[in-house]
Every structure is written in C-alpha cells, then in structure tokens.
Amino acid sequence: MRFSVYQESRKGGRLVNQDRMGYLYTRRSLLLMVADGMGGHARGEVAAELTLQKMAAIYQRDARPVLADPAAFFERSIQAAHRDLHRYRAENRLPEAPRTTLVACVVQDGIATWAHVGDSRLYLLRGGAIVHRTADHSRVQQLIDAGEIPPHHANDHPERNRIFNCIGAFVAPKVEVSAKVALHPGDTLLLCTDGLWSGLTDADIVEAFRRATVMRAVPALMDKAMAETGLDPDNCTAIAMGWAGGESIDMVPPGESPVSTLVIPEGSVTSTVQMPQPGELPADEALTESQIEDAIAEIQRAIQRSSKLLQGK
C-alpha cells in the first residue's frame, strides 16, 4: 500500500486536551483512529487513551497481516474498550466511567471500512466532493433526520453537544459500521473530532483538500476551525490519509514521500499509539501529552527515514 498521512491535535482554549489519535499499519492493512474524551464527564482523556490502546492491542494481535473481518474487529475491540473503562471506574471507585466518542477506519486491499460511536466524524473525499460522511449519534442529527431543523443550523444549535451514544456510558455502545468502499487513487479520508468540523462547512473541507496535500490541508483547516469557534475553542484533532493505491518497489513516486508499507518486515506492525509497559504507570494515571507527542514524533521520523531509503536517497 502507498498512502500519505498527517495527524495533528490542538488543545484550543481548554485546560486539558481530551482528544486522542493514532494509526497503525502492517504490510497490507491500515487502521486510523480518532477519539474525543467527553468533557462533561470526569477523565475524558483517560477514556480516549484507553480506547485507542485497547483497539491498537487487538489490531496488533489480529492483523496477520490483515484483519479477517474489519466489521467484527470494530465490534469486538470497541466493546472490549467499553468494558475496560468500567473496570477502570470500579478500580478507582469513580461514580461513573470516563466516556469518549470514536471514529475509526480500516483499509485493506484497497477497501475501506469504518465505524463510529458518537459525533467524531469520517469524511471520504473524491474528485472535489464529499462522497461519504458519517451521521452523528446526537440530538441535533435526530432533529435534522426528522426534518425539524435544516442541516446548516446544526453547528450553532443549543443542543449540539447532546450525544446519545458513546463508549463508557451505562449501556454498551452501538457501533455503527459502514459498508465496504473501494478506494480510488487520489481519494482522501478525514477523521476528526467535533472541535474541527463544528467550525467548518463542507465546502471548507472540500476546498482545503482540493488545493493542498493532507500535510498542508489539515493545519489550514485547524486554523480556520479554531478561529471560527471563538475565544474558547474546543480541542481540535484530525487524521487525514491520501490514498495512492497498490504498489511495487519501483512505483513509489518522488515528492511528498508517501508511506510505503513494503518497507516494514513481514509480520510487523508500525504504530503511533503508545502502549504502556507493565508497571510503567499507575492504573489511574493517563499518559502525559509530552510522552504521546515524543512517541509520535519518533515514529514519524522513522517513517520518513524508511521512505527515503526506499527511494534511494
């Protein structure tokens, strides 16, 4: 596989960044994930972190080198994360479990399958248009579906933050899984939290990716979204992946040095999700922002070195 990928998260005007993001890949499979810890509940950053770690652990175990059934993987791993959050609640004697939304996507053999819980979104852009977008599990989306409000009133509706489906709630999450979608070279997948999409129109998103690569479009969209959402912008997080398609060693083009999965050994997994080691952290302590950023930066440097070696630079 060949793809370009860029991820970024900004704290905005909040005291803590409760968003988490990450991606993993084998030689034939890619997993992208974005989670938004829910700020109305305690320790949302813990919920987002534990959810990504659980999904990453199951992916690393089961992607050999592909997942046998991406839809079953989403259901199994998300429900496992939900149970972990309730164990965390019990161990730390919390009145309720931390909660998070999630959007995730698996790409294998040129086929994308995605799942979401809550209002973190996935957009699939092709040929200068949004061809797929997840529907939020929210009160506002219910009003839109019922024809009670027009879509353009969603972002400033007083009930915009009412989410009825999340990981860590009293009831198990309902995992909404997409149909399988064949990707075309040039397609872009954008996964993001509401801190990004709530400050943008669909036209903003389309225009950004029409004019720039994922490495430039995501920061530009973040700048615009945070400027549009006032003096106290929400945490803002996104991963964008530009699909280049299948490959052989001599097909990797010059330029932006897209990731080539051929550079990793058979049976290995490359990950930007930092997994805790046994005994490394107390049970009730989340990874710090600097630990996560350092791990991601080191993996990104390794990817860049591998791409340069592949091109003979």
> What pTM does this model have?
0.83
3-state secondary structure of 236: strand
Place of tokens 């199951």: 58
3-state secondary structure of 31: strand
Tokens of 181: 């979608």
pLDDT of residue 261: 87
pLDDT of residue 59: 97
Domain residues for the domain of 156 are 2-310
Helices 70-91 and 44-62 cross at an angle (nearest 10°) of: 140
pLDDT of residue 14: 87
| CATH number of the domain to which 244 belongs | 3.60.40.10
Contact between 58 and 74 (Cβ < 8 Å): no
pLDDT of residue 142: 75
End-to-end CA separation in angstroms for the chain: 20
Cα torsion 48, 224, 187, 74 to 10°: value is: 10
- 120: Cα separation from own chain's centroid: 8
CA distance 154 to 135: 12
Contact between 177 and 132 (Cβ < 8 Å): no
284-300 burial code (b ≥16 CB/10 A, e <16)? eebbeeeebeebbeebe
Beta bridge partner(s), residue 106: 31, 113
- 295: Cα separation from own chain's centroid: 17
Residue of 225, 247, 250 lying closest to 237 (CA atoms):
225
Quick check: bond before 233 cis, omega within 30? no
Number of domains in the chain: 1
From first to last of its 313 residues, the chain has per-residue pLDDT tens of: 999 999 999 998 888 899 999 999 999 999 999 999 997 667 899 999 999 999 999 999 999 999 999 999 999 999 999 999 999 999 989 999 999 999 999 999 999 999 999 999 999 999 999 999 999 998 777 777 777 777 666 666 656 678 899 999 999 999 999 999 999 999 999 999 999 999 999 999 999 999 899 999 999 999 999 998 877 898 999 999 999 987 543 333 334 567 888 788 888 899 999 665 443 333 333 444 454 444 444 444 444 544 444 444 3
∠ Cα 259 261 265 (to 5°): 135
Tokens of 296: 């991601």
pLDDT of residue 299: 40
Q: What is the DSSP letter of 185?
A: T
